[in-house]
Structure 1
């Protein structure tokens, strides 16, 4: 351990204890001690030992990116430590310096990123009782932030989950992440935080800039134009809603999502833009109309649309390329991609102008950049790295052209000179050779050495012959041997100049990228709208949501060939029919119907057309969903607890402008408990005015009795029954379902016939008992004779009954609970007899 090299390693490791140190030693990056053990397991490489005791593993320096990618995917940080020339020329070992710290949230290299997806680095910064939550995509230079009160932990968590950052940095207070979170946490030094208090977003930007400059050892990278996301401007979708509606992810099939259906985008920027619009639909009526107007223009100009799509196919991911430039990761071939992209944009601009589609004018500086590329760069394919092949245009730089010619033709020139000298001197043994010590030389045999021409200059005498040079050979030698050095110097000079020019146009590139992303987004929505015959909704301001023949966009897209989606009507009126109690059998389509209403509302507020025959819609502020079941065993939370916690969030946060979807609330506990809770929730919602637009799917048929309450009405999924077989018509109608057909569904699922038949018998018995109780309940008071007695004439048990009856409010108690109480009172009287 006590060797100079290991001391260097340990010094670096002490400064970076949470990273895997890639320690450069010759042609390898070596890892030692625990780093070696961890890396060997993740990378599946051989674990050896240095000095027979120090664990060690290594990878070739030229193949690092694939290994780094695997470590980053495993949530690790990589500290790249390179060899440098020592300050002391007498030093016996090379110096070493950390040149880059690669973390999951700071990567910009294409092969380390997840395709087009955003790769967020998050910052949690607390200032007194306020919290700034920032999300920076280093690969695209995007920076957005939120402002919360410290007490809004649920909203903070929802926001973090929606962005799914790969890494989160913080200063003092640890972010309120769940225990199962896979986000890499990094506490940054206090010196990153300015001493000036109350600077707000300026502090956020400063901290992020400082972290990136530290990781990249680059003072040029700074975030510009941070954008605050004000939730009053957007339709709020919490994490449960995003998950329940399967907007961007589906655990079973990644294509069966709203994003999967809408994604016809041809550019990476367009795909990212689409995902953001799904997760952050607007509440701005003018923005919605602007989206529709652009879709309408593209719809009316199909021929021009095809030309635009052809040009879009030539575009590279400008956001990420220009960001790589800013962190010193530019490649020569990037210039050709930029040139093709800007040329394609110019062509698109001409087409879009012709059809009246508003598209930003290409800045003059970017147009000039195209001309500079065309005048400067090699006409063919540009190299991946400088020096691999020509980079500059022929005729652009005289010295460069001569060096290129010398490199390409040098061998031919030497052979031509050899042939010429051999012929003119008459020395048949004459050869022109090369070695590292003498360079190029003319070699002649001992016998012919006396016949060489006078311009030959002796260079070396051998036993077998003589070696010479000549003015012409020296001239060729200089040209050939200096060619690579000249080429490298000139290419680097112009490469750096072009990189600097591109970086100076950074804002123009980002503006252009946003315009391209928006165009790609509208093209995608136009294609979907035409293929599936979606319609442009009407916007209304009275809170009403009304659909005629609405459809589920995802389910409809993936229906088997030959099947047709059954459309449905719906009107939710916050003053009258605001709360729909939806009943119907399992498998009848209740969940699909509810989800399609929510998803179509999102489409509407994205500025998309919607799958319906007609739609007249109001903007909502939030969509809440309580759909599906699941426990959280790591927290000791049962399915019912999770259900009630999500329900509590809804009841505490909804407004009159919200859209709420409840699916089978109360099913996780006993029948009476669950029914009572569901009943109370509906009453609570109905007391508001105007009322939140709500669909409440349930198997508690007793809840349909609430239809007489203000704003509550019944809907059901229709069925057709014949000869014991059930046909689910999936048609929503006004009224209530007759029964749930649960036993029939169990039979379809493969429950043994003996079980399903026995279940039918039990059901008949239960229904009979229920009817018996109902009849008794509808007769004149079962206890009327007791109530007519004088108080002093009552027995002890009769007094109990009177007291219990006095505690019952028949207008508030759920029906099944009332029936249970009647049974209880009856038992009390029977005990006396």
Structure 2
């Protein structure tokens, strides 16, 4: 800053530099008159993001400014860009002789702490995350400041992958931490804020109490002494939920789709009317339950709503009058309440009371409005103006006529004051006979009676002189003074009474927060069940059956998202599947590209999620067991920033699955091993399938592959083959999208390439090459005498074998070369010869 030393060494700029020094990571909005000014690097950054003019102060200091009355739109853009905004206002100086205004930071606005509607992303949760390490444990909390929701997880410090995965799944807008940066932070664009040591309580090791303390301290610091009160902290225990890691959530496109936000499971299910219902739906998708009783309870509610269509539509209309109670009450707590919010609360209470009446009539369990909220409705009726309430106090009437006599008189004076003055003027003019008599007003004298010089001697005795002019005289009277007092004090009286009552109502509503929260949660649940009912009826979904033997049995299941967005005239081809953890646990799925392997795999996983959400499922019939986790290894991409290849990323994800699955998991593998050489990839895929058979019962798995050699593993151990059927005639291929038991004949990759627009010369040459390769493969076959080759080689080299070598050779003896693929047989022979050669050399 040395180059700007003189320009910065002024009283105002010294104030700015002091604020900036305290908040180096925020863009300071420095109030100067009718503008918020930004200086130095702040100005450069803001000018680029906000597309505003960058100027200079004193021809030296970079400066940019915005009008104070238009800040919200600018702040929203800075927040969206991941910036913090430090709002610094002008205040009266302590020293009355001071030549410049004092300035004070009144709010620090960060992406994770906003509560204003225009700064939030619609109904979506806006999470502030806290990463708090205590000895060898980690608390990971997610607080939605706008709704006061607080969720938290408990991990051991070495569970880095699960911690990162959880952060990705919640997508917080901001992460705060105490000592250590969260593992994900090094590669994340999420805004980070380190908490000063004095934010921690003096008593260490208090667990979740410390988490709440730190969050509260951070919010009080940002909001400058506002008191936040979170909902009771709720621990997310993964043993209670179907665990979906971030990779699975992304692969299955449950809540997001990069191409079309509606082409997701959330998009199909979302018929919710309320903001709370939409948030509830999203959470249920991401956290399906493992509790069978909860699943059944959801189904029972759907059945009731399904059987009462007329009442269902009445309820949906009533829910349309509800506001986002969670967010409104949070805004009340931080001094952001608006008069019109009371009308929204009032309508919400009326609608829920009417909804309760309808639900009672159809046997749907919905709690009665607490007495406190019923009393609040009556208070609103007795207190508030019957018409539309103002956005801000003073814009229009706020309180009801007859509520307060002083208030009514003031309202009347404000509305009728001009008429009263005209009536008095007419009255005095007639009584005095003075034709020039006028009642006027100015800011200095207030109201006065003005009479011309010629008629000034004719004034009545009760007129009191106020001012003499060259052209006439000015007077007042006891009656005019009384009117003046009533008119001029009206605004002050109205403002005082409205403010008092407004603040009283705000405090009263805040005191009922728990009651409002309970009501909001119940409305969200109702909206959720209405949404599932509407979806179930439109697409003819089925209520599954629950079983506890680990089996998943689908009859004619469908993919809910793909089916919803099929072009007009096309019909989704349903498919059936049974995964039995004892006999048919692991399906090796073959078939050509474009045949529908990925769709089939995804639909099984998505239907499992629907089942554990308590939803009906798109199938003719379904008999399902609860699973603990769903793993997916579908598609891949380079992680260039970390120097990781496609294949490396694929293997990392595969390793995660193989290290974490249980016998109750559902696993989807799609083309594992395709990112390396054919033999390497085939070997890896083969070994993975063998590894999955070790456990008993085995994890329910679908393994889609183009390695047709893997179909030879269907020899017990729970592995069985499925394929996507095709129809071939005169060189044309029809993809039937029907799953059948058995294995695919070929992959039809050249045909698919031709469909994609590959030049005909390339596809024709590819056919020639393929024909030659297949001919070579047929030549490399194991003859009948080759079992003796195995036996002879082994028998001559069994002396001095290590236990491991004996184990390998014993396994090789059990293999019938005529029953394994030719390439695999050659690979086994090569390995055997290598071992024997090493033995010979060692001798």
TM-score for both structures, normalised by structure 1:
0.95
Q: Provide the rounded CA distance (Å) in 2 between the counterparts of 1:769 and 1:823.
A: 18
Q: Which residue of 1 aligns with 2:400?
A: 393
Q: Which residue of 1 aligns with 2:681?
A: 674
Secondary structure at the counterpart of residue 257 of structure 2? coil
Q: Provide the rounded CA distance (Å) in 2 between the counterparts of 1:524 and 1:132.
A: 34
TM-superposed CA distance for 1:591, in Å, is 0.4
Q: 1:13 aligns with which of 7, 20, 23?
A: 20
Q: Is the 8 A contact 1:686 1:709 kept in 2?
A: no
Secondary structure at the counterpart of residue 708 of structure 1? coil
Q: How does 1:235-246 map to 2 (within 5 A)?
A: 235-246=242-253
Q: Provide the rounded CA distance (Å) in 2 between the counterparts of 1:381 and 1:765.
A: 82
CA deviations on 1:484-514 (whole Å, 9 max, x unpaired) are: 1111100000000000000000111111110
TM-superposed CA distance for 1:709, in Å, is 3.2
Q: Which residue of 1 aligns with 2:486?
A: 479
Secondary structure at the counterpart of residue 448 of structure 1? helix
Q: Which deviates further from its counterpart, 476-485 or 733-742? A: 476-485
CA deviations on 1:152-177 (whole Å, 9 max, x unpaired) are: 11110110011000001000011111
Residue 438 (structure 2) pairs with residue 431 (structure 1):
yes
Q: 1:541 aligns with which of 519, 544, 548?
A: 548
Q: Which residue of 1 aligns with 2:386?
A: 379
Q: Is the 8 A contact 1:33 1:54 kept in 2?
A: yes
Q: Which deviates further from its counterpart, 49-58 or 467-476? A: 49-58
Q: How does 1:114-153 map to 2 (within 5 A)?
A: 114-153=121-160
Residue 29 (structure 2) pairs with residue 22 (structure 1):
yes
TM-superposed CA distance for 1:437, in Å, is 1.1
Secondary structure at the counterpart of residue 101 of structure 1? strand
Q: 1:779 aligns with which of 774, 777, 784?
A: 784
TM-superposed CA distance for 1:752, in Å, is 0.6
Residue 744 (structure 2) pairs with residue 737 (structure 1):
yes
TM-superposed CA distance for 1:88, in Å, is 2.1
Q: How does 1:360-375 map to 2 (within 5 A)?
A: 360-375=367-382
TM-superposed CA distance for 1:680, in Å, is 0.4
TM-superposed CA distance for 1:630, in Å, is 0.8
Q: 2:221 aligns with which of 214, 217, 220?
A: 214
Q: Provide the rounded CA distance (Å) in 1 between the counterparts of 2:504 and 2:17.
A: 39
Q: Provide the rounded CA distance (Å) in 2 between the counterparts of 1:673 and 1:195.
A: 57
| Residues 821/784 of structure 1: CA separation in 2 closer, same or farther (3 Å cut) | closer
Q: Which residue of 2 aligns with 1:697?
A: 704
CA deviations on 1:131-170 (whole Å, 9 max, x unpaired) are: 0000000000000000000011111011001100000100
Residue 453 (structure 2) pairs with residue 450 (structure 1):
no
Q: Which residue of 2 aligns with 1:799?
A: none
Q: How does 1:310-325 map to 2 (within 5 A)?
A: 310-325=317-332
Q: How does 1:279-428 map to 2 (within 5 A)?
A: 279-428=286-435
| Residues 487/826 of structure 1: CA separation in 2 closer, same or farther (3 Å cut) | closer
Q: Is the 8 A contact 1:145 1:226 kept in 2?
A: yes
| Residues 182/444 of structure 1: CA separation in 2 closer, same or farther (3 Å cut) | same
Q: Provide the rounded CA distance (Å) in 1 between the counterparts of 2:493 and 2:75.
A: 34
CA deviations on 1:542-572 (whole Å, 9 max, x unpaired) are: 0000000000000000011111111111000
Q: Is the 8 A contact 2:794 2:809 kept in 1?
A: no
| Residues 744/318 of structure 1: CA separation in 2 closer, same or farther (3 Å cut) | same
Secondary structure at the counterpart of residue 809 of structure 1? helix
Q: Provide the rounded CA distance (Å) in 2 between the counterparts of 1:127 and 1:242.
A: 29
TM-superposed CA distance for 1:480, in Å, is 1.3
Gaps of 5+ in 2: 1-7, 798-804, 835-843
Q: Provide the rounded CA distance (Å) in 1 between the counterparts of 2:674 and 2:244.
A: 24
TM-superposed CA distance for 1:198, in Å, is 1.5
CA deviations on 1:232-283 (whole Å, 9 max, x unpaired) are: 0000000100000000000111000000000000000000000000000000
Q: Provide the rounded CA distance (Å) in 1 between the counterparts of 2:489 and 2:756.
A: 80
TM-superposed CA distance for 1:781, in Å, is 2.3
Residue 635 (structure 2) pairs with residue 628 (structure 1):
yes
Q: 1:643 aligns with which of 637, 642, 650?
A: 650
Q: Which residue of 1 aligns with 2:841?
A: none
| Residues 790/49 of structure 1: CA separation in 2 closer, same or farther (3 Å cut) | closer
Q: Which deviates further from its counterpart, 481-490 or 111-120? A: 481-490
Gaps of 5+ in 1: 793-801, 828-833
Q: Provide the rounded CA distance (Å) in 2 between the counterparts of 1:136 and 1:518.
A: 20
Q: Which residue of 2 aligns with 1:68?
A: 75
Q: Provide the rounded CA distance (Å) in 1 between the counterparts of 2:671 and 2:201.
A: 51
Q: Is the 8 A contact 2:791 2:813 kept in 1?
A: no
Residue 192 (structure 2) pairs with residue 189 (structure 1):
no
Secondary structure at the counterpart of residue 577 of structure 2? strand
| Residues 814/14 of structure 1: CA separation in 2 closer, same or farther (3 Å cut) | farther
Residue 20 (structure 2) pairs with residue 35 (structure 1):
no
TM-superposed CA distance for 1:791, in Å, is 7.8
Residue 281 (structure 2) pairs with residue 274 (structure 1):
yes
Q: Which residue of 2 aligns with 1:809?
A: 812
| Residues 791/466 of structure 1: CA separation in 2 closer, same or farther (3 Å cut) | closer
Q: Provide the rounded CA distance (Å) in 1 between the counterparts of 2:734 and 2:569.
A: 18
| Residues 241/824 of structure 1: CA separation in 2 closer, same or farther (3 Å cut) | closer
Q: 2:61 aligns with which of 54, 57, 60?
A: 54
CA deviations on 1:432-458 (whole Å, 9 max, x unpaired) are: 111111111111111011111111110
Q: Is the 8 A contact 2:777 2:822 kept in 1?
A: no
Q: Is the 8 A contact 1:679 1:814 kept in 2?
A: no
Q: Provide the rounded CA distance (Å) in 2 between the counterparts of 1:704 and 1:511.
A: 55
Q: Which deviates further from its counterpart, 621-630 or 88-97? A: 88-97
Secondary structure at the counterpart of residue 730 of structure 1? strand
Q: Which residue of 1 aligns with 2:800?
A: none
How many residues of Structure 1 are paired with residues of Structure 2 in the alignment? 817
Q: Provide the rounded CA distance (Å) in 2 between the counterparts of 1:125 and 1:786.
A: 63
Q: Provide the rounded CA distance (Å) in 2 between the counterparts of 1:555 and 1:267.
A: 26
TM-superposed CA distance for 1:83, in Å, is 1.5
Q: Which deviates further from its counterpart, 765-774 or 590-599? A: 765-774
| Residues 658/811 of structure 1: CA separation in 2 closer, same or farther (3 Å cut) | farther
CA deviations on 1:156-201 (whole Å, 9 max, x unpaired) are: 0110011000001000011111544121000011111112121000
| Residues 810/391 of structure 1: CA separation in 2 closer, same or farther (3 Å cut) | farther
Q: Which deviates further from its counterpart, 184-193 or 8-17? A: 8-17
Q: Which residue of 1 aligns with 2:603?
A: 596
TM-superposed CA distance for 1:420, in Å, is 1.9
Residue 161 (structure 2) pairs with residue 158 (structure 1):
no
RMSD: 2.2
TM-superposed CA distance for 1:806, in Å, is 6.8
TM-superposed CA distance for 1:753, in Å, is 0.6
Q: How does 1:719-758 map to 2 (within 5 A)?
A: 719-758=726-765
Q: Provide the rounded CA distance (Å) in 2 between the counterparts of 1:807 and 1:577.
A: 27
| Residues 712/116 of structure 1: CA separation in 2 closer, same or farther (3 Å cut) | same
Q: Provide the rounded CA distance (Å) in 1 between the counterparts of 2:647 and 2:76.
A: 41
TM-score for both structures, normalised by structure 2:
0.94
Residue 601 (structure 2) pairs with residue 616 (structure 1):
no
Q: Provide the rounded CA distance (Å) in 1 between the counterparts of 2:379 and 2:478.
A: 40
Secondary structure at the counterpart of residue 778 of structure 1? coil
Secondary structure at the counterpart of residue 448 of structure 2? strand
Residue 464 (structure 2) pairs with residue 461 (structure 1):
no
Q: Is the 8 A contact 1:218 1:327 kept in 2?
A: no
- Report runs of 4+ in structure 1 exceeding 4 Å deviation: 782-792, 805-808, 810-815, 820-827
Q: 2:263 aligns with which of 256, 259, 268?
A: 256
| Residues 278/791 of structure 1: CA separation in 2 closer, same or farther (3 Å cut) | closer
Q: Provide the rounded CA distance (Å) in 2 between the counterparts of 1:120 and 1:295.
A: 30
